[in-house]
């Protein structure tokens, strides 16, 4: 159970990308706009509230959004501005308490348990955050306040758009019970549908359902977690850092029969992105996973765990290529593919075992190929050149032809979350609310 007197805020910038565009261009204010995509293709990354009223949502194909809302204006993303303004809003939160857990570019938990005696009650702190973000950053932000993270998050969703909801201690169940189960963290469309099959539509109904029934339906872990949430039993603490568990990259490709040269080109590009980030953070991983999506959105993964962690572009490329082809061959090479992905997991920090890297380990895949040390030397040179002259100054293969409507690299960088990931060796639990 949460600590006595705990006060957690969840702050969430409203329709973030779209609000930034309306801030930057006054002509867009009050109008339905979509960031990303277009009437003929691509995908909508974010929609303004005016567009949401017509049913336009993030993740929706542009042509469908245009059909739902004929007045819709499509704008290209100003990705550098998103990062800058998101950071500025987070800085306001940090002024209220050092215990800020940023969970995406536009959203964070703040533990203000230790701040109330200085700054006033939760409603006062939350109102001050909203006023400052509006005045200093220029953006609307919704805030929920409660005793737990889960409840604070639900409260901020209820508060949207541009609102504030405080759940006073003792009123949790009165607040929670009538709300739809879909607001519980971890309940998506599939789970919602399954629960509806039991006649469970509200959080109160979920709380009153026997645990054996829920766990039979959803599995032990998911069912148990959901019931705990429905009973307002959420003991998660606000943590200021976390460790990455995997690093991946994927790319939609134009629908095509798999072609050896093209598959190799895309995979080497993806492996390069992944390994560059791994090396930049001093990480390497033992498990390499390749993903292939076929038409009809059926997607297949193949993975391989090595004896030693890798972060070498050429090695990851070769392994991913073998894995992808095994998936393609099993499906039948006549099937068209629509996406390729590469990911590395089972990560370990390489900086603490630098000495081992001096010894060239045996290459697990191609006995006659370049030894590990030579491959790492290539990566080191490439990283150094990119560090001086920019990311696109040197690559492993000719730059691929960009599809129309493809997501720009700047958006990929926003989604990487590298800035949210722990860099030091400190334990995530070192910062405990209320500790000296």
Partner DNA sequence: TCTGGGGTCCTAGGACCC
Chain residues binding DNA by CB under 7 A are 40-41, 43, 45, 58-61, 63, 103-107, 153, 185-192, 219-222, 225, 244-252, 273, 277, 286-287, 297, 299-305, 338-339, 341, 343, 345-346, 406-407, 411-412, 415-418
Q: Is 300 helix (H, G, I), strand (E, B) or coil?
A: strand
Phi, psi at 368, each rounded to 5°: -95, 0
Strands (DSSP E) contained in 69-228 are 73-75, 100-104, 107-111, 141-146, 164-166
Catalytic residue among 107, 193, 318, 413: 107
420 strand-pairing partners: none
320 CB burial (10 A radius; 0-12, 13-18, 19+)? buried
CB 436, min distance to DNA, A: 28
Q: Is 107 a catalytic residue?
A: yes
Q: Annotation-wise, does 71 bind a ligand?
A: no
**Closer Cβ to DNA, 168 or 215, answer by number:** 215
Whether the CB-CB separation of 14 and 140 falls below 8 Å is answered with: yes
| DSSP code for 41 | B
**Closer Cβ to DNA, 297 or 388, answer by number:** 297
State how far the Cα of 108 lies from the Cα of 106, in Å rounded to an integer: 7
CB 299, min distance to DNA, A: 7
CB 18, min distance to DNA, A: 13
CB 66, min distance to DNA, A: 10
State how far the Cα of 12 lies from the Cα of 362, in Å rounded to an integer: 49
**Closer Cβ to DNA, 115 or 317, answer by number:** 317
Whether the CB-CB separation of 30 and 37 falls below 8 Å is answered with: no
**Closer Cβ to DNA, 58 or 122, answer by number:** 58
Strand-pair category, 107-111 with 73-75: unpaired
135 CB burial (10 A radius; 0-12, 13-18, 19+)? exposed
State how far the Cα of 113 lies from the Cα of 376, in Å rounded to an integer: 48
Spatial neighbors of 270 by CB under 8 A, at least 6 apart, are 249, 250, 251, 320, 340, 341, 342
Q: Annotation-wise, does 12 bind a ligand?
A: yes
CB 272, min distance to DNA, A: 11
CB 368, min distance to DNA, A: 23
Whether the CB-CB separation of 44 and 35 falls below 8 Å is answered with: yes
Selection from 350, 320, 185, 186 nearest residue 249 by Cα = 320
**Closer Cβ to DNA, 6 or 342, answer by number:** 342
**Closer Cβ to DNA, 121 or 186, answer by number:** 186
Going by the annotation, the residues of the binding site are 12, 106
Going by the annotation, the residues of the binding site for Mg(2+) are 12, 106
Which sequence positions are flagged as catalytic? Answer: 107
């Amino acid at each position: 159970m949460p600590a006595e007197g705990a006060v957690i805020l969840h702050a969430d910038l409203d329709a973030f990308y779209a609000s930034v565009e309306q801030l930057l261009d006054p002509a867009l204010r009050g109008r339905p706009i979509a960031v990303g995509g277009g009437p003929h293709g691509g995908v909508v990354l974010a929609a303004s509230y005016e567009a949401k009223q017509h049913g336009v949502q993030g993740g929706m194909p542009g042509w469908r959004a245009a059909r739902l809302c004929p007045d819709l204006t499509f704008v290209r993303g100003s990705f550098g501005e998103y990062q800058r303004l998101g950071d500025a809003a987070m800085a306001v939160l940090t002024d209220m308490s050092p215990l800020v857990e940023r969970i995406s570019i536009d959203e964070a938990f703040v533990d203000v348990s230790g701040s109330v005696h200085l700054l006033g009650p939760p409603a006062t702190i939350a109102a001050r955050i909203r006023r400052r973000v509006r005045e200093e950053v220029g953006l609307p932000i919704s805030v929920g306040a409660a005793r737990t993270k889960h409840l604070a998050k639900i409260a901020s969703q209820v508060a949207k758009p541009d609102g504030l909801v405080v759940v006073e201690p003792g009123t949790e169940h009165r607040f929670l019970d009538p709300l739809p189960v879909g607001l519980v963290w971890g309940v998506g469309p599939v789970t919602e549908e399954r629960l509806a099959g039991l006649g469970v539509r509200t959080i109160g109904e979920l709380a009153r359902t026997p645990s054996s029934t829920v766990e039979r339906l959803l599995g032990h872990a998911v069912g148990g977690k959901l019931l705990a949430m429905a009973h307002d039993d959420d003991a998660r603490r606000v943590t200021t850092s976390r460790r990455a568990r995997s690093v991946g990259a994927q790319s939609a490709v134009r629908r095509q029969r798999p072609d050896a040269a093209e598959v190799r080109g895309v995979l080497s590009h993806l492996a390069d992105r992944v390994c560059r980030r791994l090396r930049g953070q001093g990480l390497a991983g033992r498990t390499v996973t390749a993903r292939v999506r076929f038409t009809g959105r059926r997607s297949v993964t193949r993975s391989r765990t090595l004896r030693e962690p890798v972060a070498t572009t050429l090695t990851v490329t070769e392994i991913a290529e073998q894995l992808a082809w095994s998936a393609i061959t099993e499906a039948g090479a006549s099937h068209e593919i629509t996406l390729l992905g590469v990911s590395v997991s089972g990560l370990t920090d390489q900086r603490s075992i630098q000495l081992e890297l001096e010894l060239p380990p045996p290459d697990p895949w191609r006995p006659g190929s370049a030894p590990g040390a030579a491959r790492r030397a290539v990566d080191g040179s490439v990283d150094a050149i990119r560090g001086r002259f920019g990311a696109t100054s040197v690559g492993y293969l000719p730059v691929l032809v960009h599809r129309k409507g493809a997501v720009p690299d700047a958006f990929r960088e926003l989604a990487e979350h590298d800035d949210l990931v722990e860099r030091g060796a400190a334990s995530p639990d070192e910062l405990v609310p209320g500790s000296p």
